Amino acid sequence: MSNAFFTPDAVATTLERVRAATPLVHNITNIVAANSTANALLALGASPAMVDAEEEVEAFASQAAALVVNIGTITAPQAAAITRATKAAQRAGTPWILDPVAVGALAFRARIALDSLAHAPQAIRGNASEIIALAHLRDGHAEPPPSGRGVDSLKTAEQAVDAAGRLARSTGACVVVSGATDHITDGTRIATVANGHPMMTRVTALGCTATALAGACLAVEPDAMVACAHAMVLIGLAGERAAREAAGPGSLQVRLLDTLYQLDRDTVTQGARIAILAP
């Protein structure tokens, strides 16, 4: 993989490809994030649909350009839908991404997340606590180490890099650990994205939004590490630009949509802070 893919210019090209393709992004997501992630996907230029009836997901995941699976408010029917959708995505070659919200906190969602890994996600995006917990469970431990509180992380992304690498190597997925500096790894290489703003942690579902935008990028970019790194620039850059003018979390949420919509080649190439950390 060439470092040329981890440049501000390459991010701008991915943004333009999303807008040109308007990819259909199938979301099975939580009730908190559903509206805001649909709006963020629309603002970016993708076409979101929230479809989680067990009877419908197989057909939809097969025809979508990408599938986003988020376990934030998982229910038993949604768990059954996730099994069917991820199987169908694997069969149809639809790229899909897992957001393992609070996977370390509750055993039921941990089982759903672990089982879904059998269907070969292209990517996994979580905060540090979630990635540490999922990697630990994937290693075969019955209980994750205590590293989160509800849906929020108590660790930094840097503290989760080893876990992310293990998880990537064991699943074949690109693993994204979000935080003040996002870390993206395929188990060998590590890219970082230093966009974002601390106020983003005061608006719910912005991690979920990052995952959804990664779904849109996976629809147009087959290299999952490139797609995910670019998506993290887009959410981080939109967040930091929106935060400059926001009075607080309320206006940040609204401004973030406007900023995603307004991102263009100039703003992306001037603002993207993307780099290869290793090897």
Ligand X SMILES: Cc1ncsc1CCOP(=O)(O)O
Ligand Y SMILES: Nc1ncnc2c1ncn2[C@@H]1O[C@H](COP(=O)(O)OP(=O)(O)O)[C@@H](O)[C@H]1O
Segment interacting with ligand Y (CB under 6 A) among 17-25, 58-66, 78-86, 202-210: 202-210
Of all residues in the shown chain, the one whose CB is closest to ligand Y is 207
Whether residue 95 is preceded by a cis peptide bond, meaning omega within 30 degrees of 0, is no
> For residues 128 and 263, which CB has a smaller minimum distance to Mg ion in the complex?
128
**Does residue 179 bind Mg ion (CB under 5 A)?**
no
Distance CA 122, CA 137 (A): 19
Angle at 34 between CA 30 and CA 38, to 5 degrees: 145
Looking only at residues 29 through 48 of this chain, which bind ligand Y when binding is defined by CB under 6 A?
none
| Residues 94-133 as x/- pattern, contact with Mg ion by CB under 5 A | -------x--------------------------------
CB 26 within 8 A of CB 49: yes
Q: Does 252 bind ligand X (CB under 6 A)?
A: no
SS (HEC) of 17-76: HHHHHCCEEEEECCCCCHHHHHHHHHHHCCEEEECCCHHHHHHHHHHCCEEEEECCCCCH
Measure the CA–CA gap between 162 and 135, rounded to whole angstroms.
9
* Residue window 66-105: x/- pattern of binding to ligand X, with contact defined by CB under 6 A: ------xx---------------------------x----
CA 239 to chain centre: 15
The reply to whether 199 sits in an annotated binding site is no
Query: Which residues lie near ligand X (CB under 6 A)?
Result: 30, 32-33, 72-73, 101, 151, 204-208
Query: Which residues lie near Mg ion (CB under 5 A)?
Result: 101, 207
